[in-house]
Structure 1
Amino acid sequence: MALDGVTRDRPDPGAAELASQYGLSVTGARPGVIEYIRRLWRHRYFIAEFAKARSTTKYTQARLGGFWFVLTPLLNAAVYYVIFGLLLGTSRGVADFISFLVTGVFVFTFTRDTVTSGVKSISSERGLIRALHFPRAVLPLTQVSMKFRQIMISMVVLMVIVMARANYPDWEWLLIFPVLALQLMFNTGLALWAARLGSKSSDAAQWLPFVLRAWMYGSGVLYLVEDRAANAPAWALHLLDMQPAAVYIDLMRFALMNTENFGTEYLPDHVWMLALGWALLSLVAGFVYFYRAEEEYGRD
């Protein structure tokens, strides 16, 4: 091939060859897993500050401000107490139904709110994604951080309520910390899964709350499942007892409520194994599911 009297022995190099020659890489390309985790770790301060800013501005227009973080689950618990505890009589058979109910509502709210905020974490921040280059998992992790800040505040209120019901602090209260740690791992995995789901389907944020509501009814938040589902097959009751929300709620009730009110002096060892298993499964599966679509977020 001749060009201006110069003979060329080979064709022009392609874009990929030129990029390799000059050390260029695709913008937004997905790094390896280890490098991706390193980048997330380098963004840990950004996640914390972003979550703090989002938490501060969420209720800026409300007169009670951040108090709604605690007031919302308390009002839900009050409504559930009137409808289920008083009108439907689900309090029968529970020695301390108020502590039982409020603990269940607060613990499940932590998981529910993490998922519902995670499902919108990518779709609501497309402008930020297109403007800046950062690991996209930062966004759902910011939502997890926000909800964890809220549950820590809520736990103080919860402890005051259970103490008012004669559940006084003892050594079991130290179990609150591992229970919250395991639930945090579990919720993080769910938030990552929901974030990818919400980024691909605009309808996910609409139907997911119905799934979460059904999950709440099957998790023993409002009543003893074994009493209300006494006629169900044995395998169904086992599944309801072993599902993650029920496991974390049972562990928190065991930690906060005394033996007389909770109804037993110990929980079987397999409950802790289930809590750990669900936490690891959710975290790993959620991370892998989200990570595999890293290059696609914000491009539609």
Structure 2
Amino acid sequence: MAGSTGPAGPSGSPAPAGPTDLAALAARHGLTVSGARPSLPEYVRQLWARRHFISAFATAKLTAQYSQARLGQLWQLMTPLLNAAVYYLIFGVLLGTADHVPDFVPFLVTGVFIWTFTANSITAGTRAVSGNLGLVRALHFPRAALPIALALQQLQQLLFSLGALIVILVGFGQFPTASWLLAVPALLLQAGFNTGLSMAMARIAAHTPDVSQLMPFLLRTWMYASGVMWSVDKVVGDRNLPHLVALALQYNPAAVYIDLVRFALIDSFTADRLPPHVWAVALAWAVLCAAGGFLYFWKAEERYGRG
């Protein structure tokens, strides 16, 4: 019969449309599955459209981070400075590392600040989805906005803290020179690297919450292997390390970014010729982690907030 929507049922009335018919009808009218993962280009467009939300969310998180503490935002400065003081006492005084590293205090404080940037970005990434489940379940938006915003928050915090780092450097005889401008591309590359890791950890922790409990131990081990309190080049040059261990230390991304910033800011490092491969390694780590972390997170877009 003309106008029927399907074959006639037992009573002569049109049979209900099947799943295939309904899917075709939805496709004709541009309907998609709720929560379905968009294509990669569409996902990037959605993120760009929400760039103001990402920036505002990062700033709000930064403002609220120490709102319950009496000293408030000063803890952004005091935390890395207190860590540096502890490391100076243990490594510089008790273990005598300061005797073998020129400009040890600028060397140490720079390493602590730059390492803290990476460590805090990764830690924040583990809470990006699991710590914002109410937002994830209530609103429709590209979930990558959360780890990106938290990585941006850590960049904002680093920029705020750099004022204290500059004061310390000047106090120990490291005055601004043209080489200080090299810190800008180094920090931008590190920010890309951190953001990629933050997105990767956000996906892992969203489905395996116990990872957040393991991260402090992993980060502490990584920190000790990154030359925050000692010189990677000196250890590799003075000790007969296995070749693979020496390569792992030299190409460790955290150590690479720390060395680039030290090279830019500290005279005793700037006086030495920086191996040309260091910038290439820094760029490769940034691109690999930023692109890989983004794709890895996007692949699970439709699963965040479920369960």
What TM-score do the two structures reach when normalised by structure 1?
Answer: 0.94
Q: Give 1:55 shift.
A: 1.1
1:52 deviation in Å?
1.0
What does residue 27 of structure 1 align with?
34
Residues 179, 270 of structure 2: 8 Å contact kept = no
> Match for 2:58: what amino acid?
A
AA paired with 1:193?
Answer: A
Output the amino acid matched with 2:174.
N
Residue 5 of structure 1 and its aligned partner are, at CA, apart by: 5.9
2:250 corresponds in structure 1 to 241
Q: How does 1:73-152 map to 2 (within 5 A)?
A: 73-152=80-159
Alignment RMSD, CA only?
1.7
State how 1:143-292 maps to structure 2 within 5 Å: 143-228=150-235, 230-258=239-267, 261-262=268-269, 264-292=271-299
Describe the shift of the 1:140–1:274 C-alpha distance in structure 2 as closer, same or farther (beyond 3 A): same
Once residues 34 and 210 of structure 1 are traced to their aligned partners in structure 2, the CA distance between those partners, rounded to angstroms, is 37
- Secondary structure of 1:265's aligned partner: coil
| Cα contact 2:264–2:270 (8 A) shared by 1 | no
Please report how far the alpha carbon of residue 142 of structure 1 lies from its aligned counterpart in structure 2 after TM superposition: 1.1
Contact 1:185 1:282 in 2 (8 A): yes
Equivalent residue of 1:121, what SS?
coil
> SS of the residue aligned with 1:91?
helix
CA shift in 2, pair 1:3/1:56, >3 Å: same
Q: Percent of counterpart pairs with the same letter?
A: 49
Q: Deviations over 1:115-163 (max 9, x none)?
A: 0010111011111111000000011011111100000011121111111
Distance in 2 separating the partners of 1:79 and 1:148: 24
Partner of 2:18: 13
Between stretches 263-272 and 199-208, larger displacement belongs to: 263-272
What letter is aligned with 1:277? A
Give me the whole-angstrom Cα distance separating, in 1, the residues matched to 2:306 and 2:24: 25
Letter in 2 for 1:79: V
Cα distance, 1:4 vs structure 2: 9.2
C-alpha displacement at 1:11, in angstroms? 5.4
In the alignment, which residue of structure 1 is the partner of 2:3?
Answer: none
Once the two structures are TM-superposed, the CA of residue 293 in structure 1 deviates from its matched residue by 0.3
| Pairwise CA distance, 1:20 | 2.3
| 2:106 and 2:172 in contact (8 A); partners too | yes
Distance in 2 between the 1:205 and 1:264 partners?
Answer: 41
Moved more, 151-160 or 132-141: 151-160
For this pair of structures, how many residues does the alignment match? 297
Which residue matches 1:294?
301
Displacement of 1:73 in angstroms is 0.4
The farther-off stretch of 97-106 and 262-271 is: 262-271
Question: What is the CA distance between 1:226 and its match in structure 2?
Answer: 4.4
- The structure-2 alpha-carbon separation of the partners of 1:20 and 1:167, relative to structure 1 and needing over 3 Å to count, comes to same
Q: Deviations over 1:78-129 (max 9, x none)?
A: 0000011101111121111000000000000000000001011101111111
**Is the contact between residue 159 and residue 256 of structure 1 (CA under 8 Å) also seen in structure 2?**
no
Paired AA for residue 13 in structure 1: G
**Residue 3 (structure 1) shift:** 5.5
**Rounded Cα–Cα distance in structure 1 between residues aligned with 2:250 and 2:235:** 13
What letter corresponds to residue 177 of structure 2 in structure 1? D
Unaligned runs of 5+ in 1: none
- Deviation for aligned residue 1:56: 1.1
Instruction: Name the structure 1 match of 2:57.
Output: 50
The verdict on how the C-alpha distance between 1:2 and 1:178 changes in structure 2, with shifts beyond 3 A counting, is closer
Q: CA deviation at 1:57?
A: 1.2
